[in-house]
Amino acid sequence: MPKMAPLDRILLLTTGILSAYQVAVGIDHFDAFPILAYSIAFGVLLVASLLLIILGFEILDLPAVVVISTIIPLALSLGLVWQHLAAWRIPYLVFSILGFLSILITRSIAMRKILPIVVLAVTHGVAGMMIFLLPILLALRGVLEPAFSLVGVGGALIGLGGLLLFFLKAGKPILSRENILRVFPGLLLLMTICFVVGFRFG
Amino acid sequence: MKKVLAKFRLYWPLIKSLQTGLLVATGLAGYMSARCPIFNLGTLGGLFVSLVAAISGSTVLNMWWDRDIDAKMGRTQKRPLASGKVDPAEALRVGLTLSVFGVGLALAMDPLYGLIIFAGLFFDVVVYTIWLKRRTCWSIVWGGISGGMPILAGRALGVGGLDWVGAMLSLGILFWIPTHILTFSMRYFDDYQAAGVPTFPSTYGFKFTRATIAISSILAALAMGLSAWGFGMAWGFLRLLGVLSVGLLILAAAMMFKPSERVTYGLFKYASVYMLAAMILVAIEAM
């Protein structure tokens, strides 16, 4: 496992600070439920950044990472759906809870390999597409400012990061382990910047 | 000049700059939590200098008293007093001078503030270090009480008296200290054994120690949250404090149910980051 470079620490710290800003200030004008959902998403991002700085890239090897990294796209997409797709609130809430519990269960008990992968792919896929497409559609239709499409770009980046981590943990990395870890802090920061700027000016 | 610099370099480790910095930050945050005119440079400067002097002084005195056990522990045997690089009599004079100056300045600024600073110093040096540290693992309670004094003193200086918010802030530090110290005593278990210092892990075992850390983390988070609400912290900042507290609680739970060296180290470091972040939030909120 490569040692974390000072630049990586700076990138992660900036990610943490931006996430903290988003929790404390960036979502203050929303309703209670989206605030809760976004607080969970950016809160996980904040705590994860701090733990990465403290413990290094080694924590990415923990089995719990798969479960915890699901919380960010699920909570973000849930907040977006709650705000902008009123008719889908309850079905999507049920999907999010079931998706999270399914990942938690399939990762906690021993079972054949295919089911955990399918559950993970479906849950991540739906949440990722929601974060990617919904903001871009809302911006294109003129419902929200064009800058809101940056949230969609952030969604694409979170999807990319998720894929990299997934294949890394599955033992079939798309890039070499060193390269993934080299781009990971920058990717996290870029994604967070997109979310913060998108929510602020969108 | 070179001589002075060399001396400064020798004494710098004696004041444990990170620990002193964190405690000074709690004192400043306690003062700022009162939302008094925080940009009164005279008061703020006096507060800073008195806290730095008193806390550094008590730390030097602790190091002076503990130099024999420091020499027995791998982690601390290179400290200037333990390794014989600093003359003990000189360190004692420096420690006393800093302490008297810090407490004196604090008393001159405000009698109640000075009294609390003196109490913190007394509990830390006399009760915790000299009297109890080598006798019982419960000495950390007194270490915790003394650690909670700077924030209580800062708050008292800001509001002009003692109030429940100050007491709650102080409790937040008191309950945070076991999270910090007990993870430390687990990590350096062999060192403390070699020095003959009783710790929770050596007296009650690791399981009980982990449970104590988990409970104290919950209580620290509750006390910090309650005090932040008490002095009127904005909702968004409370939310952020809540998020950081959840991180602390998850790590404490992980240490309880899935203990490992890595989790212990993570909790030890995160607890410091948590407290620093909480103090920064209080300061930003006041500005």
Across residues A53-74, what is the average pLDDT? 88
Q: How far apart are CA A137 and CA A155, in angstroms?
A: 13
Complex prediction ipTM: 0.90
Whether the pLDDT of residue B145 is over 90: the answer is: yes
Predicted structure pTM score:
0.87
Q: Which residue in the set A27, A39, A55 is minimally distant from B262, CB to CB?
A: A55
Candidates B187, B217, B235, B240, partner chain A, best to mutate (most A CBs within 10 A): B240
Is the CB of B240 inside 8 Å of chain A's CB atoms?
A: yes
Residues of A in contact with B242 (CB under 8 A): 39
Q: Which residue in the set B240, B246, B262 is minimally distant from A24, CB to CB?
A: B240
- Angle at CA of residue B270, ends A182 and B183, nearest 5°: 125
Whether the pLDDT of residue B74 is over 90: the answer is: no
Residues of A in contact with B277 (CB under 8 A): 20
Tell me what pLDDT residue A178 has: 83
Q: At B21, is the pLDDT very low, low, confident or very high (cuts 50, 70, 90)? A: very high
> Counting beta carbons within 10 angstroms of the beta carbon of residue B167, is it exposed (0 to 12), middle (13 to 18) or buried (19 or more)?
middle
Q: pLDDT per residue over B92-123, tens digit each?
A: 999 999 999 999 999 999 999 999 999 999 99
Across residues B15-30, what is the average pLDDT? 93
Is the CB of A39 inside 8 Å of chain B's CB atoms?
A: yes
Tell me what pLDDT residue A1 has: 63
Return the sign of the alpha-carbon dihedral for residues A161, A163, A164, A168: positive
Q: Which residue has the higher pLDDT, B285 or A33?
A: A33
CA distance B242 to chain A (A): 9
Is the CB of B262 inside 8 Å of chain A's CB atoms?
A: yes
Tell me what pLDDT residue B149 has: 97
User: Do the Cβ atoms of A55 and B273 come within 8 Å?
Assistant: no
Q: At B32, is the pLDDT very low, low, confident or very high (cuts 50, 70, 90)? A: very high
Instruction: Name the class of domain B2-286.
Output: mainly alpha
Q: pLDDT per residue over B211-230, tens digit each?
A: 898 889 889 999 999 999 99
Tell me what pLDDT residue A68 has: 87
The pair phi, psi for residue A75, each rounded to 5°, is -70, -40
Q: At A161, is the pLDDT very low, low, confident or very high (cuts 50, 70, 90)? A: confident
Q: At B70, is the pLDDT very low, low, confident or very high (cuts 50, 70, 90)? A: very high
Whether the pLDDT of residue A2 is over 70: the answer is: no
Which 8-state DSSP code applies to residue A9? H
Q: Give the contacts of B107 (CB within 8 A, at least 6 positions apart).
A: B113, B114, B115, B118
Mean per-residue pLDDT over chain A, rounded = 90
Tell me what pLDDT residue A180 has: 83
CA distance B287 to chain A (A): 15
Which residue of B lies nearest to A64 if distances are taken between CA atoms?
A: B254
User: Do the Cβ atoms of A54 and B262 come within 8 Å?
Assistant: no
Tell me what pLDDT residue B132 has: 93
Is the CB of A37 inside 8 Å of chain B's CB atoms?
A: no
Across residues A64-87, what is the average pLDDT? 92
Across residues B11-30, what is the average pLDDT? 92
Tell me what pLDDT residue A106 has: 87
User: Do the Cβ atoms of A55 and B239 come within 8 Å?
Assistant: no
Q: Which residue has the higher pLDDT, A1 or B41?
A: B41
Which residue of A lies nearest to B236 if distances are taken between CA atoms?
A: A24
Which residue of B lies nearest to A68 if distances are taken between CA atoms?
A: B250
Q: How far apart are CA B49 and CA B44, in angstroms?
A: 9
- Picking from B67, B62, B52, the residue whose alpha carbon sits closest to that of residue B98 is B52
Across residues B189-197, what is the average pLDDT? 90
Neighbours of B189 (CB within 10 A): 15
User: Do the Cβ atoms of A54 and B269 come within 8 Å?
Assistant: yes
Is the CB of A77 inside 8 Å of chain B's CB atoms?
A: no
CA distances from B74 to A53, A133, B70, B284 (A): 26, 57, 8, 40
Q: pLDDT per residue over A97-147, tens digit each?
A: 999 999 999 888 877 678 888 888 889 889 999 999 999 999 999 999 999
8 Å CB contact between A199 and A147: no
Domain definitions of chain B by residue range: 2-286
- Cβ contacts from A onto B, under 8 A: 50
Which residue of B lies nearest to A25 if distances are taken between CA atoms?
A: B236
Is the CB of B269 inside 8 Å of chain A's CB atoms?
A: yes
Whether the pLDDT of residue B35 is over 90: the answer is: no
Whether the pLDDT of residue B39 is over 90: the answer is: no
Mean per-residue pLDDT over chain B, rounded = 92
Is the CB of B265 inside 8 Å of chain A's CB atoms?
A: yes
Q: pLDDT per residue over A21-32, tens digit each?
A: 999 999 988 999
Across residues B11-17, what is the average pLDDT? 89
Which 8-state DSSP code applies to residue B13? G
Q: How far apart are CA B49 and CA B184, in angstroms?
A: 29
Across residues B61-75, what is the average pLDDT? 93
CA distance A9 to chain B (A): 14
Across residues A147-153, what is the average pLDDT? 94
Q: Quote the distance between the C-alpha of residue B203 and its chain's center.
A: 23
